[in-house]
Every structure is written in structure tokens, then in C-alpha cells.
């Protein structure tokens, strides 16, 4: 009895450890989410299929089909829709490449800019045409650094008025640019060019 009494605590410890080991013998592993790289591509084959719900990426609320970015008017003219600044940058870039200063003036230059030139006693169309012709390379270089408007890397956006923004290319992106800022204003539900600096 003495021997049993002396081994009691050790036996008790061994018994508890044995119960712990027995209860941990089998583990259940559940995979809640597994999304292998490239698994969403059509026809993709891999070792393990995806598990769980695929995340739903919301559509860009400002994305417009290409045929809705330019709307033909009953008079035969075209209205350029620019709900976000990247639409305006795209329109401006295309018209600059086509060297179409007439459409740039008619559709993309803000009425505030036109009124400013008139208040100075200058012909707005002549001033815009001269600027866009003489500074064509500088404007195209600036637009190339901000292809997605304010979402472009290195572009900072600052609100400068109730419906006006200044987009500034900064840092290394501004190196070599003679123009670093595009000023835009919302008119009639679309962004329009206020000016460059």
C-alpha cells in the first residue's frame, strides 16, 4: 500500500496526460476559403478547386460604355460626357492628338474660361486656339502623366472651389514637365477644362 500511495500523484498525472492525448488524436480541418491564383480564368485547371464564395468586385459607378462618352445631338454636333476627370483627360488627349482645337473649345473648355477671356477684352476662341497650338507638346506630356485623372499615381487632387478641382502632378512624375497642373470645373454635370499651369 505504501508503494501505491507514493506513486499516486505520478499515476494521476500520467492518467490526465493520457486522456489529453486520446482526445487530441483526431483533428478536423475545415477550409473556409481558398482562392488559388488564376483560378477564375476560363478553362484554368489546378490541383485544388476554389472553396467558398468569390468576392464580388463592384462595378465602377462612373464607368460608362464607350458609346455613351460621346453623345450625338439632334443638330449633328457631339457632346462629350465627362462624369469623372479621367473621362475629360481621355477626351482632351484624343482631340489633342487629332489637333481639333475647334472641338476642344466648343466642348471641353469651361464657360468660366471663355467668360474670363471676354472680360479681359480678348477673343476666347483665338486665345484657346493659340495656347493649345503653342503648348501642344506640354499639354500632351501633362496628360500622359495623368491618364486616369486624379486616380493616376503621383497626381494630387485639391478642391479649389465649390465645383472646381486642381489636379497636380508631383514628385518624380513632374520632372521635365513645363505644365504640372490641370484645373477643372463641373459645368452642366460634366467636368470641363478651366486651365493649365
User: pLDDT tens digits, residue range 113-145?
Assistant: 999 999 999 999 999 999 999 999 999 999 999
DSSP-derived secondary structure letter, 33: -
18 pLDDT above the threshold of 70:
no
The pLDDT of residue 4: 47
Rounded to whole angstroms, what are the CA distances from 197 to 91, 96, 177, 180, 183?
19, 17, 11, 6, 8
Give CA–CA dist 5/19, Å, rounded. 22
Average pLDDT in the 22-45 region?
A: 68
What percent of the chain lies above the pLDDT cut of 70? 75
The pLDDT tens digits for 32-42 are 777 776 666 77
CATH numeric code, 66-196:
3.10.450
The pTM is what? 0.67
Amino acid at each position: 500500500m505504501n508503494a501505491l500511495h507514493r506513486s499516486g500523484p505520478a499515476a494521476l498525472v500520467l492518467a490526465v496526460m493520457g486522456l489529453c492525448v486520446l482526445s487530441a488524436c483526431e483533428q478536423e480541418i475545415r477550409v473556409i476559403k481558398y482562392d488559388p491564383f488564376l483560378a477564375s480564368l476560363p478553362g484554368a485547371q489546378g490541383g485544388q478547386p476554389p472553396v467558398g464564395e468569390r468576392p464580388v468586385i463592384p462595378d465602377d459607378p462612373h464607368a460608362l460604355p464607350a458609346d455613351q462618352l460621346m453623345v450625338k445631338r439632334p443638330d449633328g454636333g457631339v457632346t462629350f460626357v465627362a462624369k469623372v476627370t479621367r473621362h475629360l483627360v481621355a477626351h482632351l488627349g484624343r482631340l489633342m492628338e487629332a489637333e481639333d482645337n475647334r472641338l476642344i473649345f466648343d466642348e471641353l473648355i469651361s464657360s468660366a474660361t471663355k467668360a474670363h477671356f471676354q472680360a479681359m477684352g480678348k477673343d476666347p476662341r483665338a486665345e484657346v486656339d493659340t495656347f493649345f497650338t503653342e503648348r501642344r507638346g506640354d499639354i500632351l506630356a501633362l496628360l500622359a502623366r495623368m491618364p486616369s485623372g486624379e486616380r493616376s499615381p503621383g497626381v494630387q487632387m485639391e478642391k479649389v472651389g465649390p465645383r472646381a478641382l486642381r489636379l497636380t502632378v508631383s514628385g518624380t512624375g513632374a520632372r521635365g514637365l513645363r505644365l504640372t497642373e490641370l484645373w477643372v470645373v463641373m459645368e452642366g454635370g460634366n467636368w470641363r477644362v478651366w486651365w493649365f499651369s
